[in-house]
Structure 1
Amino acid sequence: MTSTAAQISSKIKLAINIGNTMEASGGETAWGNPLITQDLVNRYKSLGFDAIRLPCSWDQYADKTTAKISSTWLDRVKAVVQYCINANLYIVLNIHWDGGWLENHIDEASKVAVAAKQKAFWQQIATHLRDFDEHLIFASANEPAADKAAQMDALMAYHQACIDAVRATGGRNAYRTVVVQSPSTNTEYAVSLWTNMPMDTATDRLMFEIHYYAPSQFAIITEDQSWGKMFYYWGRDNHSTIQPDRNATWGEEDYVDQQMQAMKTHFIDKGIPVIMGEYGAWRKTTPLDLPKHNASVTYWNKYVTQQALANGVVPFLWDTGSLIDRTTLAIKDADILDALLTTAGKK
């Protein structure tokens, strides 16, 4: 447990989420993915990933009155963490959306009750996983839905409850790295709303987390919205003349540069490591100019990874089974994988 958060972050060049699995409402396989196995974790390691982020649900496995988490579920999470330790991978374990009990209640009226639940859950999680070494990292939340200064007191109370609960369990948890999330894990709110890190009895053991899906019309939405149409084409060399109305109109290279530089200036240069806990853009089948679209998707993933690493931000690709087949372990998108590995200096 001797490494600082910054020393750990320097060892992670490329990481991946096992998404839509242990955070799935209804159970680990409820959203179509198989159970996580040692073979799957070994596959990620063999390809060149250094860490896994494990989005995890807890509330559906907990008593609604006492907040006691099922011992069966705690044991299952412990087994998956052990898979990662066996493969010599770092692992970031969080409380994910989890029904929104924290994520959708960043407000003064909810603060006392939510902070108490946060404390109760983290006491149990941290105690059950206390003996793992520094490869295991805890993450307070996922995407806490805060976008106003008035919400920051509540958000900080939730992060503080996590840190205090983890430290109070003692043992290796007294020194374990803990990750706290930006308001909405948004890069702009990280600059405009975040003013200071929570208190910690350990020294240099906190990380900061943002997510990156800009522009949302390209990276997130899968159908046109009232507020904007999908972008199919992204990047200075990838705009389409066939569908010019689907070219990105914001959020291209200059915006990526600006946001990653802001993370460096506001956090990393001040000794606070930053992880990009989720990012990614995936292919659509509807574009008329498919070569340009496919080039755009590959380039977006490569460019965002490149600029994150150039500024010291640790990239964790969001994947729900689109990159690696979770059952056969076959590579499903060789172009994106090659772009990531090459950019991170893995091949």
Structure 2
Amino acid sequence: MNSLVSRFSIVLCSVVFLFSCGEKEEAPASLQLSTEEIRAAASGGTFNLAIASNVSWKVILTGDWVEASPAEGFGDEEVIFSVKENSDEAVRSLDIRVTGGGIVRTLTVSQAAAEPEFPSYHIPADHTGMRDISSLELAADMGVGWNLGNSLEAIGGETAWGNPKVTQALIDQIQAAGFNAVRIPVAWSKFANATDFTIDPAWMARVQEVVDYVVGKGMYAVLNQHWDEGWMQPTYAQQAYVNGRLEKMWIQIALHFRHYDDHLLFAGTNEVMVTGDYGTPKAEYYTVQNSFNQTFVEAVRSTGGRNAHRNLVVQTFNTNIDHGINFFALPEDATDDRLMVEVHYYDPYEFVLKEEGGASQWGKNATDPVRKAAWGDESHVDAQFKKLKGKFVDQGIPVLVGEYGVISRTALSDHEQYRKDYLDYVSASMKAHGLVPFYWDNGHAGNYGFALFDRNTGTQLYPDLIRAIVGK
């Protein structure tokens, strides 16, 4: 009995052994992709992906602009991915997962942005003469600027506000005095056709002559759209009209000056505000004014050529420093690091601008409290410019103080000393905070005037004030 059981056990074990030895061990799951990335052009296309696998797999899509065929299968197979056209001017991408047998593989699909649809007047970007320096470096190279005020923006013609025609000799004297940049205010509404805002070719040519006076000397010229009878009202009611007119005018200006190098800058507007309202702007007002800046930038960039790289100047609401800190929005720009911000500085009003009954003394050297403003001394100057430095300059955005100055008071013998104190301190503080000063000169040399030079001869009327400004 025991012998029989023993023999049976041996046979049974042998049979079990034979069966177990004959079994094929199951291979581990495998899932491999021929690539982990597909790069598609904006136009889209089809792309093949080879899958090597020994299990069932599935393609999991996370976007509607890529399709897979087949989207699932077993074993080795080729999947065709169809990428749709990208009509947006932005790169897009998505991750596709291929799963099977507990394995997850990722395929990244990226697609180029659509090329912008350029207008017929556009030409390819041209770097010629446009130095590879930052906007902050270019602003620093501008040094100290001077305004050709009350000339090309004079309503009625270049000499309508009492100044003679601008000459090369005048600009030569400006440069000799130590200024390296000229801001050129212009009223562009001298139309050959007022219906479609076509600028008179003769006027465009005259503005070019003056620009050439400046850049021909190696100086910087800042060409702007000035007051021009105040048509640029920042209200919802006027927004479409102003943006349309602004766009048409700046396209013409940008095309005419497209061949100039980076010594020419464009400034879109000047002191935009609702006429007569000097208070804190409503959201409507600064929102619309910000749209004017955006329109200007897009209009200039649309022309291509060197304008694709030109430094452009955009303004805060009414070029006010505090409104710039609180309400300004830097426009979007297709070109990196080529925008500058403009403010003006006329504080305190009582000393700087007010004529009858204004303050005649300023600063720490003032001797009569009755004759000076109750605010706006040295500490105020530094505080305002410190705000601009922190908000813009420290973030890589240059700031031009496009206008500042003090009227003369010829009837007061001691006023010129305080005027000098003011210009000396304010100019130095601007430079210390990384700002670019542009003195406002309107050519008027009499009482309550801003003139530093005789516009007829170029002679310096106030050499000491000029030295205070330029730092000589």
TM-score range, shorter chain: over 0.9
SS at match of 2:197: coil
Structure 2 spans left out of the alignment, 5+ residues = 1-129, 275-280, 444-450
Alignment of 1:189 with 2:323, yes or no, is: yes
Alignment of 1:309 with 2:431, yes or no, is: yes
Deviations 1:157-210 (A, max 9, x none): 11111111101111100111110001110111111222x310001110000000
User: Does structure 2 retain, via aligned residues, the 8 Å contact 1:16–1:319?
Assistant: yes
Instruction: Tell me the CA shift for residue 318 of structure 1.
Output: 0.3
User: Does structure 2 retain, via aligned residues, the 8 Å contact 1:211–1:276?
Assistant: yes
Deviations 1:130-176 (A, max 9, x none): 10100000001010116233222211211111111101111100111
The share of aligned pairs that are identical, in percent, is 39
SS at match of 1:59: coil
Question: For residue 300 of structure 2, what is the amino acid of its counterpart?
Answer: V
Q: Distance in 1 between matches of 2:382 and 2:152?
A: 33
Aligned pair in 2 of structure 1 residues 208, 38: CA closer, same or farther (>3 Å)? same
SS at match of 2:237: coil
Question: Which segment is superposed worse, 185-194 or 254-263?
Answer: 185-194
Give the greater-gyration-radius structure (CA): 2
Q: Distance in 2 between matches of 1:40 and 1:276?
A: 23
Deviations 1:217-252 (A, max 9, x none): 11112124xxxxx11110011232xxx422121011
SS at match of 1:237: coil
After superposition, where does 1:1-347 map in structure 2 within 5 Å?
A: 1-2=130-131, 3-61=133-191, 63-102=193-232, 105-145=233-273, 147-194=281-328, 196-224=329-357, 230-240=358-368, 244-287=369-412, 290-291=413-414, 293-321=415-443, 322-342=451-471, 347=472
Instruction: Tell me the CA shift for residue 9 of structure 1.
Output: 0.3
Question: For residue 220 of structure 1, what is the amino acid of its counterpart?
Answer: L
Q: Distance in 2 between matches of 1:341 and 1:271?
A: 24
Q: Which structure has the highest strand share of the two? A: 2
User: Does structure 1 retain, via aligned residues, the 8 Å contact 2:174–2:458?
Assistant: no
Structure 1 spans left out of the alignment, 5+ residues = 225-229
TM-score w.r.t. the length of structure 2 is 0.68
User: Does structure 2 retain, via aligned residues, the 8 Å contact 1:148–1:193?
Assistant: no
Q: Distance in 2 between matches of 1:101 and 1:47?
A: 36
SS at match of 1:278: strand
User: Does structure 2 retain, via aligned residues, the 8 Å contact 1:140–1:179?
Assistant: yes
Question: For residue 160 of structure 2, what is the amino acid of its counterpart?
Answer: A
User: Does structure 2 retain, via aligned residues, the 8 Å contact 1:25–1:60?
Assistant: no
SS at match of 2:252: helix
> Relative contact order (alpha carbons < 8 A, sep ≥ 6): 1 or 2 greater?
1
SS at match of 1:144: coil
User: Does structure 2 retain, via aligned residues, the 8 Å contact 1:22–1:55?
Assistant: yes
Aligned pair in 2 of structure 1 residues 219, 66: CA closer, same or farther (>3 Å)? same
Instruction: Tell me the CA shift for residue 62 of structure 1.
Output: 5.2
Question: Which segment is superposed worse, 136-145 or 42-51?
Answer: 42-51
Q: Distance in 1 between matches of 2:173 and 2:411?
A: 31
Instruction: Tell me the CA shift for residue 85 of structure 1.
Output: 1.3
Instruction: Tell me the CA shift for residue 61 of structure 1.
Output: 3.6
Question: For residue 294 of structure 2, what is the amino acid of its counterpart?
Answer: Q
Q: Distance in 1 between matches of 2:337 and 2:321?
A: 22
Aligned pair in 2 of structure 1 residues 264, 62: CA closer, same or farther (>3 Å)? farther
Q: Which structure has the highest helix share of the two? A: 1
Q: Distance in 2 between matches of 1:297 and 1:15?
A: 18
Equivalent pairs, count:
329
Q: Distance in 2 between matches of 1:114 and 1:132?
A: 27
Task: State the partner residue of 2:118.
Answer: none
Aligned pair in 2 of structure 1 residues 50, 67: CA closer, same or farther (>3 Å)? same
Question: For residue 292 of structure 2, what is the amino acid of its counterpart?
Answer: Y
Q: Distance in 2 between matches of 1:207 and 1:339?
A: 25
User: Does structure 2 retain, via aligned residues, the 8 Å contact 1:179–1:206?
Assistant: yes
